[in-house]
Amino acid sequence: MTLSQAALSGVSSHGILIFGMHRSGTSALAGSFQEAGLYLGRTLDTPFEHNPKGLQEPPAVIFMHENLLQENGGAWHAPPPSIVWGQLHKAVRDLFIESRAPHALWGLKEPRMLLVAEGWIEALPSWSGVGIFRDPVQVAQSIFLRNGFDHDKCFAIWKAYNSALIALHRKYGVPIVEFSSDSAEMEGRIRKLLVHAGLPADQAMTFFDPAIPRHREEAAELALPQDVARLLAELRDVAW
C-alpha cells in the first residue's frame, strides 16, 4: 500500500521500510529520511570507526532479527534458505509496530530486514519501501576489512541480500537506487525516494556524507563472480 492509498483508506499510520544490505548506504538513506521528517524513534546513532554518523537502527529489532536468523540455522553473514517466525519474534515485531501507531509516518532501517521482509509486510496495515544497493566489489572489500571473511563469502553475502532486494522490487514495486560517492548524484537519488515516500525533498541535505560507508578505494583489484555480475546488471537495469 502506498502512502496515498493509506490516506484514502483511512489508515492512520504508515511505515516506510528502508531495505539494503550491510555496508551499502542504508544509514545515509535513513538519516536523510529522518532529516526530512521521518520518525525513526530511538536508534543506534553513536559514531564509530566504520560509520561516524551511527547506524540509525533500533537495538531491539537488531537483536530480534539476529536471533530469528539463528533460530532458522543462520546469521546475518550466513542467510538461511527459509525463515519461520517464532512467537517471540512476532511479539517483538508487533510491539514495535504498535509503538509507532501514534506517528502518521515512521520508518525502519535494519539490514537483516531484507532477509525476513515478508514477516514484517504481513503484519503492517500500511507500508511502502525504498531500497539501496552498492557495487559488490566495494561491499565485499568493506566486509573483508571489517569482518575478515574471504572474498568469496563476501560476494555470497552480497548476492543473498540483493537477490532478496530485487525480489521485493519485482513483487511490490519497491524503488531501488544505487549508492554513489558522487554527492550531487546521490542526493538526486535520495530526493527521488523522498518524493516517492511522501516526504519533503527540497531541504538542504546535511546528513549524507559521500565518504561513508568506508573502504571504497581499496577494492579495485577484485573480480566479480559471474552470478554476482548478472545480479548487479539486473539491479542497475531497474534502479532509479
Nine-digit cell string for 37 = 521528517
For residue 199, the enclosing domain spans 3-238
Note the pLDDT of residue 209.
Answer: 73
Note the pLDDT of residue 212.
Answer: 60
The helix (H) or strand (E) run that includes residue 59 is: helix 59-71
**Mean of pLDDT over the chain:** 87
pLDDT average, residue stretch 137-163: 95
203-226, pLDDT tens digit by residue?
Answer: 878 777 766 655 544 555 788 999
- Is pLDDT above 90 for 2? no
Note the pLDDT of residue 43.
Answer: 58
**H-state helical runs in 113-225:** 117-121, 136-147, 151-172, 183-197
CATH number, domain containing residue 67: 3.40.50
pLDDT average, residue stretch 133-154: 94
Distances in Å between the alpha carbon of 205 and those of 8, 10, 151, 200? 30, 32, 34, 11
- Is pLDDT above 80 for 19? yes
Domain total in the chain: 1
Which pairs from 76-82 meet CB under 8 Å and 24+ separation?
76/22, 76/111, 76/112, 76/115, 77/143, 77/147, 77/149, 77/153, 77/157, 79/115, 79/157, 79/160, 79/161, 80/115
Note the pLDDT of residue 206.
Answer: 78
- Is pLDDT above 80 for 7? no
20-63, pLDDT tens digit by residue?
Answer: 999 899 988 999 999 999 999 875 444 334 544 444 678 899 99
**What pTM did the predictor assign?**
0.87
61-71, pLDDT tens digit by residue?
Answer: 999 999 999 99
pLDDT average, residue stretch 10-21: 88
pLDDT average, residue stretch 170-191: 95
End-to-end, the C-alpha distance of the chain in Å comes to 20
Note the pLDDT of residue 41.
Answer: 85
* CA atoms of 210 and 233, how far apart (whole Å): 23
